[in-house]
Chain A
Amino acid sequence: MITELGYGTLAISFLLAIYGIIAATWGVLKRRPDWVDSARNAMLLTFPLLTVSALSMIYLLVYGHYEVEYVASVTSNSMPLYLRITALWGGQAGSLLFWSWLMSAFASAVTLRNWERDREFLPWVIVVCLITLAFFLGLTLFVENPFDRLWLLPGGIAIKSFFAPQGALPYFQSDGKGLNPLLRHPGMIIHPPMLYLGFVSFVIPFAFAIAALVTNRTDDRWIRITRRWSLVAWLFLSLGLILGGRWAYDVLGWGGYWGWDPVEIAAFMPWLTGTAFLHSVMIQEKRGMLKHWNMILIILTYNLVIFGTFLTRSGVLSSVHAFAQSAIGPLFFTYIGASFVISLSLLLRRWQTLKSDLHMTSLLSREALFLLNNLLFMGILVVCFWGVIFPLISEIVTGQKVTVGPPFYERATAPLFAGLLLLMGIAPLAAWRHSTVQTLGKAVWKPTVVSLLIPLLALASGVRNWAALLGFWLAAFVACVTLYEYGRAVLARSRSRNESLLRAFWNLAGRNRRRYGGYIIHLGVVLMAIGIIGIELFQTETQGTLAQGEQLSLGPYTMRFDSLAVFDTADGRNVARAVVSVYKNGQFVGELYPRRDFYYESQQPMTIPGLRSTMEDDFYVLLVDWQPISSAGATFKVYHNPLVNWLWLGGLVFILGTLVAAWPDSETNPATVRARRRLPFAAKAS
């Protein structure tokens, strides 16, 4: 019953989406606003319908309806409630349903905004959103249906189908296979939804951009409408990436947070273009320039989202994150091809009308530096993209696989990231339009001198790694500039308005959220940079086999192997759990419990580290191996990760800043941007 309900609502949503696409196109071609309104209602309705569908799926998962193939493949009797719910996105079919549901939420939300001023965009926004939605719904319905049941044919063969095949009996299993152990982690509850949210919410700005291209309203209106959408999308994407890093650190057991895995990069690429976009739209808003570029960036972002999903799900790339081989590859490919070709041809058709209004007056102006920032982001994108795609090319040409691993990305992107940090320090000091070497130099030298103290201190304390010294200086420089800018504005405001410093600080962030939210984000990046420098350049590791009572030392830490217990748990794991005492500089600081979980259902081992975390460093212990007979000996791998906690702290600050920047304004601020344009009067235009 519930299965039929879920499937039925899914099918109706798909039909509604198709109807909406046709109605909106018809309405705009025949100039019939009532058809467009009807399409809008259809789009609005997909959300409640898909909510019912997703809830049905959750119901099936929670109550263990193993006759449904998807339920049997991702849940089992021993799984706790929260994992059964999160199993919704634990497999291919369910996550496609989940994706569609989120997409419909955003599509519905966008219909609810006030459309009076932008009516001409409406049909095209509907079309783009619904095409995307219909595609994913189509995949869910026809290729990867999560509601498919298992049937037993007379010959004893079990097959997967929604409707009962002739002569077949329903196949009830008493237990399922269970969720992939890698996904059984609290971080996994929020990491994929955040990424998906980021992905789907970037569809909205893209839809507006396409609407602007089609209707030829290529001024900055679409940008102003979608500013908050882009920030929200970016917030979710950033959060997804940061949580993903934390999950990897806690669960994957390699002592790191980011492995430059193709699927990680697939999620990172839209973030790169999205970040470049957030910066360069400011130029268009302030200076009316770069219309082409912003269009390119948002189109790239959308296509990279689809491309990333394709890479993850089609089986083209092999990766720890990749879903199993599936039939959706060719369909996805067709969609990607169409999406690439349509967006590019639209863009080229409107190229002329997108020409910039104004000219660059100085190469040191803020807009010029923003462009450099964009160049660096694109550079990182190129490295990432090439790294992901190159093994495919190499395999096609030579027939031999190659690996493009972390060293490739690290070496190529490190200088680009350093350049971004440098720009992050300089750009806030440069003025819009006019900036000269003199004015900029005047603004830059003070923070430069102050920030040099940090690498000097590091040098004095024995750091001899030039890359680290450079990195620390850059981080300090950005921090100085950002704090100085903030402090100056707070002081000025508190003086001129007689406000207390704290109040001035609060009001300032409230008045120009994007600017001061942006500064908070920059500070977050600085903190993250410190953490990254710490773990990337100063990580040390050692491995040793210890008998009970023996010790292993690494850096200031010493660990002693106390005991080991091997036992079965109620949820179907065999756990080997070691107890180690940790000493720092000879002082006892606590016990850690690194363990190895072996999941019987899926025959997969999981290595869960024991972790002692402080702001100064992390001590990370992995249980690699042990003697099965007794607790006589065990092999441990230990990592010393200096400063890595700053990365997570920075992540928090980063998200906080994004929240500040994206927070809705209390009073709506109608378009004042256009008034700021100082155009020479164009008489021809009338």
Chain B
Amino acid sequence: MAKHKMNLMVCGGTGCYASAKGDLVKALSEELEANDLSGEVQVITTGCFGFCEKGPIVKVLPDNTFYVEVQPEDAEQIVKEHVIKGRKVEKLLYKHPHTKERISDSVHMDFYKKQIRIALRNCGIVDPESIDDYIAREGYQALGTVLGELGPQKTIDIMKESGLRGRGGGGFPAGLKWQFAKNNPSDEKYVVCNADEGDPGAFMDRSILEGDPHTVIEAMIINGYAIHANEGLVYIRAEYPLAIKRLKIALNQAREYGLLGKDILGSGFDFDIQIRYGAGAFVCGEETALIQSMEGERGEPTVKPPFPAESGYRGKPTNVNNVETYANIPVIINKGASWFASIGSKNSKGTKVFALAGKVNNVGLIEVPMGTTLREVIFEIGGGIKDGKKFKAVQTGGPSGGCLTHKHLDTPIDYDNLIKVGSMMGSGGMIVMDEDDCMVSVSKFYLDFTVEESCGKCSPCRIGNKRLYEILERITDGKGKKEDLDKLRNLSTVIKEASLCGLGQTSPNPVMSTMDNFYEEYEQHVTDKKCAAGSCKSLMSYHIIAENCVGCTACARKCPVNCITGEKKQVHEIKQDLCIKCGNCMEVCKFNAVTII
């Protein structure tokens, strides 16, 4: 076989799959075949490049050309122009959102400049369905080192020294957690990978499992060896079919190579991994609820202590770690604790993966060193706010986190700083909002989610959140009273203090942080009955500005409920009692004669 001159890396993540209008890999392969180039150019399905906004992505290596929004019909041009003639296909290159320049390769894209990819190191380089690709990237060598040279305690010491903290949200030091599980003697122990990613809009863990499943498997074996467990379980939500498929393939490959099973790498250590499916309940991301669910019980949290490290799955010492935490571990072993500790901020080491979403130009999956500021993430990597609008807030930490505003933009992102300013790291969701977003509605949105997802075991969470939601609903409906604002605060405090698990203890965070940072907006809703962002329909009405209206009748014709009256060339009028506030009239008016009051 001739040596490959070029690799066409096609993103095989769910995002790019969804935006492709057909089979991109097949189209490219067929085109190469037709031009007799299959021997020289290889098409490889790989993990998420992170730049989901512009998917499907095809990256050409070694010249690093980054093609965006590639569809199967572009295959011909890529092969005929780029592969054969060496000319980049201009129209598929990424266009800078401000300068409108086409950028030829990923090295020069702002999106990648500030990123350090540790957990995502193999996404975009390896074929997730090939264990050989993973081994070629030093895969399973950390496991070899741990089994052959380090032994359990030294491994745990490295974990402690590295300063790695749990990436699932809590930020508990991983090494310490391992130590507790190791110190509890038992004939049976378990390690669990928490792949129950529940924050709305977050897909870090999914992307790692889809793009580099072997790294999670390797780290789980290391974890098992370090705490003397022989069984691992991956708790993954059934809504992640692609991640499950790739994980299953990877598990089988690891078994074939003897990296799972009996006597791994001649060390005498036995370990295997099973998959458990979650039905998509948010609370099951909480480790005690997750364990309950794996045991076949209702997914409800239990009181801690006892912590899972003492009594977890089947009442045995259990170590639960998040997917992203695991993805860091093989690198830490290979490169050393001090290397890892040199990245990041004082008390938060390494990097964090964020799912950047909302009103930014570059939506996607990013990995930045801890200590990067929100401004760098939103305005440099994220490319600023969409459509030239103004930045208003950024929500981190999902339904458990909070909304941060202008004054927090220069806060370096790490576990402690985010908590200090009233939000939290969470698992890494980051939603950016612009001037059109109403903060009361945003907290109502998150509350709606928590009310849905509360397991109902403890009353502060079950009843308290519901009441909290009702108050917010009242306010956005224009029926709010001044006292409601105090009620919101008091109730939030009670829910936080009295709830059983992390879900309830953090669920009022979106309310509290928006009240802290946008109190005047709440006041405006209850006293003036106005929503400045124009998103609460009950608090706004459409009106026609008489001076601007030329009587073209365009609005009247578009109105679905016929509430606009007026003769041709006469000023029109909107009948407020009939208006459903759909906004059609405003959209269709060419004379800026429709306004929201």
Question: Are the chains A and B members of one assembly?
Answer: no
Residues of B near any A CB (own CB < 8 A): none
